[in-house]
């Protein structure tokens, strides 16, 4: 508490004439002063002056005190100490919970943190990611890169202190998804959105254990910035991605991107980073629910012993450098599905089964996701004309 000094007010003192000293004179003594007034009259004048002086002093004191009060009220000269209480809300008429808060509460028991012990050529270490509960009996979905090379995997729910051991049932590095299993019952499974329901501009929320921060998951919000993005990864390419500006950080991998209904629309997987020639801000990617639901079934089959082969078209590719869309065919293997379909060198692939191909990585991902024996429609640009060919894929040989 700071010191508070009251300023004493100084009032002007009354001015009285100095006392008159007696003067000796040879003249006869008279009872008059130098002004010719009698001592009695002078006493009356002095008395009146004293009364007015006293009255003036009282008025001056009141005015000075009043001026001092005005000065304090104006806070012009000193600090004040007040006993007024701090205003605290009574809690009545509070705003209802926001949509984001409701979604976060709904997903609280369906999102887990995943910790791994990694053993690799670099000596190993620890890794952290996020997972989504798929079933009440313990199936959990996450990114494949979260559990890659893991010798031990544990998961922990928000509010719990002890981790639960998890088993990797199946993993698909190409699609960057993995299926885990813990020994549990009665879990709250997340709800996935209907395929094809996501639109550009939709409000979305990312939930995950960003940077492995203490406490519960991190919740960030944004919108769907774009659809059907394709990016290259260390394991190949990912296509049909959702782009979002909701903040996604290390540790968010494998966590859900959800709409305002609390439905999972994607699995967060990567962020764009700037380099010496480009800058990137608020650009994150999620594997869309359309892809996720397909891969989940493939992972479950794989967990039951069914080996999945990637589709194979039999072409070489190059990126367009003229600013156009698509991938350029640079080679066609003799006898391959592409050769049998009539695809030629220098053809430009624009779409596969109606999905636009933005570059060579997009075509690789589209063919990989198709199964051997599946017939796909490939839209080609040749000599300025759009043509459509059908190719029946075969299994990729090792």
DSSP string covering 192-218, please? BPPTT---TT-EEEEEE-GGG-SSS-E
Catalytic residue check, 145 = yes
Say which residues have a Cβ less than 8 Å from residue 31's Cβ, sequence separation at least 6: 38, 39
Give alpha helix (H) positions in 38-194: 39-73, 99-107, 144-147
Dihedral, CA of residue 376, residue 381, residue 382 and residue 387, to nearest 10: 50
Q: Which of 369, 364, 371, 373 is nearest to 392 (CA)?
A: 373
SS (HEC) of 142-179: ECHHHHCCEEEEEEEECCCCCCEEEEEEEEECCCCEEE
Q: Which of 171, 221, 249, 253 is catalytic?
A: 253
Active-site residue identified among 115, 145, 288, 290: 145
Q: Is 275 helix (H, G, I), strand (E, B) or coil?
A: strand
Mapping DSSP to helix (H, G, I), strand (E, B) and coil, where does residue 43 land?
helix
The answer to whether residue 32 is catalytic is no
| 202 catalytic residue (yes or no) | no
Annotated active-site residue in 115, 172, 176, 336: 176
Q: Which helix (H) or strand (E) holds 367?
A: helix 360-369
Q: Which two tokens stand for residue 287?
A: 């594997």
The CA angle 119-123-127, to the nearest 5 degrees, is: 55
Which residues form the catalytic set? Answer: 145, 176, 253
């Amino acid at each position: 508490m700071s010191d508070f000094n009251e300023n004493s007010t100084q009032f002007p003192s009354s001015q009285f004439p100095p006392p008159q000293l007696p003067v000796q004179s040879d003249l006869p003594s008279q009872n008059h002063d130098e002004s010719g007034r009698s001592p009695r009259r002078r006493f009356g004048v002095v008395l009146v002056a004293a009364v007015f002086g006293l009255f003036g002093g009282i008025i001056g004191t009141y005015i000075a005190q009043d001026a001092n009060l005005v000065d304090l009220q104006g806070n012009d000269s000193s600090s004040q100490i007040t006993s007024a209480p701090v205003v605290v809300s009574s809690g009545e008429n509070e705003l209802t919970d926001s949509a984001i808060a409701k979604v976060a509460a709904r997903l609280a028991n369906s999102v887990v943190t995943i910790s791994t012990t990694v053993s690799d050529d670099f000596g190993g270490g620890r890794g952290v990611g996020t997972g989504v509960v798929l079933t009440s009996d313990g199936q959990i979905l996450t990114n494949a890169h979260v559990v890659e090379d893991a010798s031990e995997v544990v998961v922990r729910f928000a509010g719990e202190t002890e981790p639960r051991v998890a088993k990797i049932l199946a993993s698909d590095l190409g699609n960057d998804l993995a299926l885990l299993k813990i020994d549990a019952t009665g879990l709250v499974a997340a709800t996935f959105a209907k395929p094809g329901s996501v639109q550009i501009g939709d409000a979305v929320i990312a939930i995950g254990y960003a940077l492995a921060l203490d406490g519960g998951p991190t919740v960030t919000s944004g919108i769907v910035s774009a659809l059907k993005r394709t990016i290259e990864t260390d394991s190949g390419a990912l296509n049909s991605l959702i782009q979002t500006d909701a903040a996604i950080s290390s540790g968010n991998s494998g966590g859900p991107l959800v709409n305002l209904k609390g439905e999972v629309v994607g699995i967060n997987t990567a962020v764009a980073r700037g380099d010496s020639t480009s800058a990137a801000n608020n650009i994150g990617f999620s594997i869309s629910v359309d892809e996720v639901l397909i891969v989940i079934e493939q992972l479950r089959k794989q967990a039951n012993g069914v080996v999945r082969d990637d589709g194979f078209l039999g072409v070489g590719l190059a990126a367009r450098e003229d600013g156009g869309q698509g991938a350029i065919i640079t080679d066609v293997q003799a006898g391959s599905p592409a050769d049998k379909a009539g695809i030629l060198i220098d053809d430009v692939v624009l779409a596969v089964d109606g999905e636009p191909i933005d570059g060579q990585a997009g075509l690789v991902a589209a063919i990989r996701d198709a199964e051997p024996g599946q017939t796909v429609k490939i839209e080609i640009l040749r000599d300025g004309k759009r043509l459509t060919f059908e190719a029946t894929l075969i299994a990729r040989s090792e």
